[in-house]
Structure 1
Amino acid sequence: MERLIGAFAVALVVTLLFGPLVIPVLRRLKFGQNIRQDGPSRHLKKAGTPTMGGVVFLAGILVSSLLLAWDYVDGMLVLGTAVGFGIIGLLDDYLKVALKRPLGLRAREKLSGQLALAAALAFLAVFAAGRGTGLMVPYSGLLVDGGISPDLGFGLFIFLAILVVVGTANAVNLTDGLDGLAAGVSLACALAFSLVATTVDKTGVAVVMAALAGGCLGFLYYNRHPARVFMGDTGSLALGGALGAAAVLTRSELFLIIIGGIYVLETLSVIIQVLSFQLTGRRVFRMSPLHHHFELGNWSENRVVVTFWAASIVFAALGLAGLYRLF
C-alpha cells in the first residue's frame, strides 16, 4: 500500500510542477485547440486554448512508474502502452495544431498504430508477463473461492485484448469533450483498477494505475473549468491505452465494461446516433457524444462534468463489487 500511495503522490507532484513549464511553451508555440463549428456554441470561446497537455501528466506517470514499478514486467507493459498510445496522439495533435492538417493522422494510420501496439501488448502479456489466456467473470466470487475464469484460448484472447485496448483508447478520446471530464472519469477508473490489480497480485499494474490516478488529479488543477490546457489526443489515447492494458494484464476485461461505464455510454451514444441517422434520418440525441446531449439540454458544463464524475465513481464501486459473489 505504501508503494501505491508513493506512486500516486510522486505523479501528482511531478504533474503539478511540470504544468507551469509546459503550458506557457504550448501557448507560445500557438498550439491552440481548434473548436468544432457544429458543436455547442458556448465552446467557441475555448478556441486557442493550448492542447497536447497530456504530456504534462504523462511526465508524472512516467517518472513515478519508473521509480516505483521498474522491476515489474506487467507494470512496464502498462506504462509502455500508455507512452506508445500517447505518441500516436502526440503526432495526431501536432499535425492538427502545428501543420494545420484539420483531421491530423489519417484514420487508417492512427488505427494501424493502435492495432500494432495492442497486438504487441497481447503477445507480451502471455509470453513475457505470464498472463495466460483466462478471463475473470465479475460477480462470480473471486474473493470468495476464486470465482469463474474460463480459458479463452490463445486466438480469442489476442482478439479480445486488441479490441479492449484499442476500444478503450478511442472511448476515452470520445469522452474528452468538456473541461476536466476525461481526467476526472479516468481518475476514478484508475483507482478502481489499482485495487483490482492489488487483489490479483499484479503489483506493477497497481502501481502504474496509482500513478495514473495521481497524474489525472494533478492535471485537473490545470484542466478544470475554465481549462487552461486540454489534454488532446496525446492524453486521451494514453489514458485509454493504459486502462485497457491494465484490464488485459489483470484478466479483468469484463470488469472494464462496468468500471468504465461512462466510456461505454459515451461510445454507445455515438454508435446509436450514427446508426439512427443513417437508417431513419432522425437523431436520438441532441448531439453526441452523450455529454453534449446534456449540454444542449441547458445543463451547465460544470453540472455535466460533476454528474459524470459521480456516475463514474458509482460505476467504479459496482465494478469492485464484482470481486464478490452475486450468483
Structure 2
Amino acid sequence: MMEQVILFTIILGFLITVLISPLFIPFLRRLKFGQSIREEGPKSHQKKTGTPTMGGLMILFSITLSTLIMTAKFQGPTSTTYLLLLVTLGFGLLGFLDDFIKVVMKRNLGLTSLQKLIGQIIISIIFFFVLKQTGFSTEVAIPLTDFSIDLGWGYALFIIFWLVGFSNAVNLTDGLDGLVSGTAAIAFGAFAVLAWSQSLFEVSVFSVAVVGALLGFLVFNAHPAKVFMGDTGSLALGGAIAAIAIMTKFELILLIIGFVFVIETLSVIIQVASFKTTGKRVFKMSPLHHHYELVGWSEWRVVVTFWTVGLLCAILGIYVEVWM
C-alpha cells in the first residue's frame, strides 16, 4: 500500500504540472511576466530575455495539491505535512514578492537583501517553535560516527542558518535551463528514500510530490526553457529541502546530497572574498555554472554534468546513512 501511494504521488505531481503548464505559461506571457537577464551575465543568455518566469507557482500548486490528496487518501495530513507546506509556501511567497517586484514593478533588484533575510528568519523561527512544541530532538548527528551534539536552544540558530542558507543556495544555482529542476528532483528523491527508511510516511510523500512536480516542470524548463521557476520556485525548494533534512534528522547529510548547491554557493563566496581582498577573480564568473559556460562548455553539457554530480552525491548520501 505504501509503495503504491509513493508511486501515485509522483505520477500525480508530474501530471498536475504537465497539464497546467500549457495553460499557465501563455497566461504569464500575456501578463508580460518575462525574465530580465543581467547585463553582466553571459552574453549568450541575453536571448532568454522575456521568457516567462514565476513558473514556481505551478510547482507549488502541484506540490500542495498532490501532497494533500495523497496523504488524505491514506491517513489524512497531520502537523508534519502542514509544517512542510508552511515552510515551502512561506519561502515561495517571499520568492513571489521578489519576482513580482522585479518583473511587474520593474525594480530589477526585487526585495532588498535585508527584507528577504527578515522574511526567511521569521519563517525559520516559526518552524523551530512548532517543532519545539512536539518535543523534537535538538541533537545533530555527525555522519559516519556514533556521536551527536545537543545544541539545546542553539538548535534554533542552526535551523535559521540551514533554512536561510539552503534557500539562498538553491536560488544561486538557478541560472541555467533545467539545472535546479534536475538537481533538486534528485536531492528530494534521495531524502524520500531516507524518510522511507525511517518510516516517516508523510515526509516521504511530500518529497516525492516535489519530485513529480519538478519532473513535470522540467518538460517545459529543459533547454531551451519555455518558462523559468524564478525565485518563487527556487527559494521554496531550498527551504523545503532544508526542512526535510531537519525533520528526518539527517541535517548534515544535506551537505552531501545537496553538494551541487553547496559548491555553487562556495564559488560565490570565494569569488567575492578573492576580489575584495586581492582584486583578482578565481573563476571567470560565479556561480560556478557560469564559469564552465565561459570556458566553452555548452549550457546543456554544464547542466547534465551537474545533474550527474548531484546523482552521485545523492547515492553517496543514501549509502552513508542507510547501508553504512
Shorter-chain TM-score bucket reads over 0.9
**Residue of structure 1 equivalent to 2:160:** 162
User: 3-state SS of the aligned residue for 1:299?
Assistant: coil
**Residue of structure 1 equivalent to 2:315:** 317
Cα shift at 1:164: 0.7
Structure 1 distance, partners of 2:112, 2:151, is 33
Paired residues of 2:194 and 2:322 also in contact (CA < 8 A): no
Q: How does 1:48-87 map to 2 (within 5 A)?
A: 48-69=50-71, 70-87=76-93
Cα shift at 1:77: 1.1
Q: How does 1:56-135 map to 2 (within 5 A)?
A: 56-69=58-71, 70-128=76-134, 130-135=135-140
> Deviations for 1:73-117, whole angstroms, at most 9, x for unmatched residues?
222211211111001100110000001011111111111001110
Structure 2 distance, partners of 1:276, 1:296, is 19
Cα shift at 1:325: 6.7
Structure 1 distance, partners of 2:114, 2:200, is 34
**Selected match of 1:199 from 184, 189, 197:** 197
Structure 2 distance, partners of 1:305, 1:221, is 15
Identity %: 47
Paired residues of 2:173 and 2:179 also in contact (CA < 8 A): yes
Runs of 4+ in 1 over 4 A off after TM superposition: none
**Residue of structure 1 equivalent to 2:142:** 137
Return 5+ residue gaps in structure 1 as ranges. 141-147
Q: How does 1:1-327 map to 2 (within 5 A)?
A: 1-69=3-71, 70-128=76-134, 130-140=135-145, 148=146, 150-324=148-322
Paired residues of 2:140 and 2:151 also in contact (CA < 8 A): no
CA RMSD for the aligned pairs? 1.2
TM-score by length of 2: 0.95
User: 3-state SS of the aligned residue for 1:135?
Assistant: strand
Cα shift at 1:64: 0.8
Residues matched between the structures, number: 318
Paired residues of 1:74 and 1:205 also in contact (CA < 8 A): yes
Structure 1 distance, partners of 2:252, 2:82, is 22
Structure 2 distance, partners of 1:197, 1:53, is 27
**Residue of structure 2 equivalent to 1:144:** none
Paired residues of 1:285 and 1:293 also in contact (CA < 8 A): yes
> Deviations for 1:210-238, whole angstroms, at most 9, x for unmatched residues?
10011110000010000000000000011
Q: What amino acid sits opposite 1:5 in the alignment? A: L
Q: What amino acid sits opposite 2:141 in the alignment? A: M
User: 3-state SS of the aligned residue for 1:309?
Assistant: helix
> Deviations for 1:21-41, whole angstroms, at most 9, x for unmatched residues?
211110000010000111111
